[in-house]
């Protein structure tokens, strides 16, 4: 079977890391894979050489704006020609690779779902998301993702429950996982990082994830003020929104010096995790965070809210 995978960014978020693990470890005797990504993110360079990848003819962010104009022109002049740059890019990739099915990773690829329906291509949708993400996509996009797919894949039991509520019938549970062979710790580098940050605290908490409301980043200043300077908190993850700006200013306003917003640290990622004494998950909603599995693999204690699948996931991680 030939599978064309779709992903929005090729970035280091949990859903896309999971896709990369799947592509790398898929049974190559049974499946041939290719990837279409909305952007050329850092994970593109980590694809196996045997896996071809395709990108939009113009960046997806530009495509969205162009598409509005093109569709308006087509309605006015009655054109049916495929001149939407994103649509043309996908059709070119499809014709070149000739897949049997499209595998759409997350509901954040609504363009792929709409196009699959238009072209009559069978598709699978992998859900890593719950209600917080649902509110950021349109009614019809979520409806098409659920009702038109040949198979729905949920990353946890709670996600599968949401799919059943929405009328999904052919549902597969595929728990998130990590490639433990990639965990290579450098104790000397860990000590070097600690000295670089000038951390003298008796206990270090770490959190990894995008700086966003769903991840509960705004709780970090409150936690830091409550615990005092004997504790340090490291946050690994990018953020460039107004929400990130607010967090930065709140830390400065209260003079909080024991919180370190480190951004993305892909090269030293596991050494930063190993630097910590525990993982604190502040997420308001998280179906099955990969960082929880990573922390468990390093033997770190985990503290979290019971949001999403976290309670059951923690039991599963520690038992396995």
Q: Residues 238-288: pLDDT tens digits?
A: 888 999 999 999 999 999 999 999 998 888 999 999 999 999 999 999 888
pLDDT band at 200 (very low <50, low <70, confident <90, very high): confident
Vertex 116 angle, CA 112 and 119, to 5°: 135
What pTM, to 2 d.p., does this model score?
0.85
Domain-terminating residue out of 173, 207, 241: 173
Residue with the two structure tokens 């930065």: 248
Residue 85 has pLDDT above 70, yes or no: yes
Domain count, the chain: 2
217 and 114 fall within a common domain:
no
In terms of C-beta distances under 8 Å and separation of at least 24 residues, what long-range contacts does 302-311 make, across chains too?
302/278, 303/278, 303/279, 304/280, 305/216, 305/281, 307/283, 308/130, 308/156, 308/158, 308/283, 309/156, 309/157, 309/158, 309/159, 310/281, 310/283, 310/286
Residues 145 and 191 reside in one and the same domain: no
Residue 318 inside a domain? The answer is no
Q: Is residue 316 part of a domain?
A: no
Task: Say if 320 falls within a structural domain.
Answer: no
Lowest mean per-residue pLDDT among 131-145, 196-210, 297-311: 297-311
What is the arithmetic mean of pLDDT over 300-319? 70
Residues 146, 191, single domain; the answer is no
Residue 182 is predicted with a pLDDT of: 84
CATH number at residue 35: 3.40.50.2000
> Whose structure tokens read 């490639």?
179
Does one domain contain both 190 and 131? Answer: no
Of 173, 196, 230, which one is at a domain's C-terminal end? 173
Residue 187 has pLDDT above 90, yes or no: yes
| pLDDT for 311 | 62
Each residue of 92-146: pLDDT tens digit? 999 999 999 999 999 999 999 999 999 999 999 999 999 999 998 999 999 999 9
115 contacts 84 by C-beta, under 8 angstroms? no
Query: Domain span at residue 22?
Result: 2-173
Q: How far apart are CA 56 and CA 93, in angstroms?
A: 9
Describe the strand order of the beta sheet including 53-54 as a list of residue ranges.
53-54, 32-37, 2-7, 101-105, 123-127, 151-154, 171-173
Query: Residues, the chain, total?
Result: 320
Burial of 181 (0-12, 13-18, 19+ CB in 10 A): exposed
Q: Are residues 140 and 256 in the same domain?
A: no
166's tokens? 């929405």
| Pair (13, 96) in one structural domain | yes
The answer to whether position 40 is within a domain reads: yes
Looking at residue 82, its pLDDT comes to: 42
């Amino acid at each position: 079977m030939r599978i064309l995978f779709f992903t929005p960014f090729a970035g280091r978020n949990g859903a896309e890391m999971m896709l990369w693990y799947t592509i790398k470890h898929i049974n190559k005797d049974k499946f041939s894979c290719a990837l279409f990504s909305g952007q050329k993110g850092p994970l593109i360079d980590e694809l196996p050489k045997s896996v071809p990848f395709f990108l939009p003819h113009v960046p997806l962010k530009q495509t969205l704006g162009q598409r509005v104009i093109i569709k308006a022109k087509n309605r006015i002049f009655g054109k049916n020609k495929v001149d939407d740059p994103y649509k043309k890019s996908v059709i070119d990739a499809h014709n070149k690779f000739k897949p049997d099915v499209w595998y759409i990773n997350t509901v954040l690829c609504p363009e792929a779902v709409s196009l699959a329906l238009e072209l009559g291509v069978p598709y699978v949708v992998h859900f890593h998301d719950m209600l917080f993400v649902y509110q950021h996509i349109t009614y019809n996009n979520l409806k098409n993702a659920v009702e038109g797919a040949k198979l729905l894949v949920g990353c946890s039991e709670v996600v599968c429950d949401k799919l059943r509520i929405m009328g999904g019938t052919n549902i597969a549970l595929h728990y998130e996982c990590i490639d433990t062979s990639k965990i290579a710790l450098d104790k000397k580098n860990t000590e070097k990082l600690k000295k670089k940050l000038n951390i003298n605290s008796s206990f270090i908490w770490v959190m990894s994830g995008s700086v966003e409301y769903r991840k509960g980043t705004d709780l970090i200043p409150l936690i830091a003020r409550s615990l005092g300077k004997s504790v340090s908190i490291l946050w690994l993850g990018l953020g460039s929104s107004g929400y990130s700006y607010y967090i930065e200013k709140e830390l400065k306003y209260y003079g909080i010096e024991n919180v370190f917003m480190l951004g993305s640290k892909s090269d030293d990622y596991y050494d930063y995790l190993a630097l910590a004494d525990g993982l604190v998950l502040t997420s308001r909603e998280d179906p099955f965070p990969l960082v929880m599995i990573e922390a468990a693999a390093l033997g770190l204690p985990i503290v979290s809210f019971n949001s999403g699948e976290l309670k059951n996931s923690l039991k599963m991680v520690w038992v396995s």
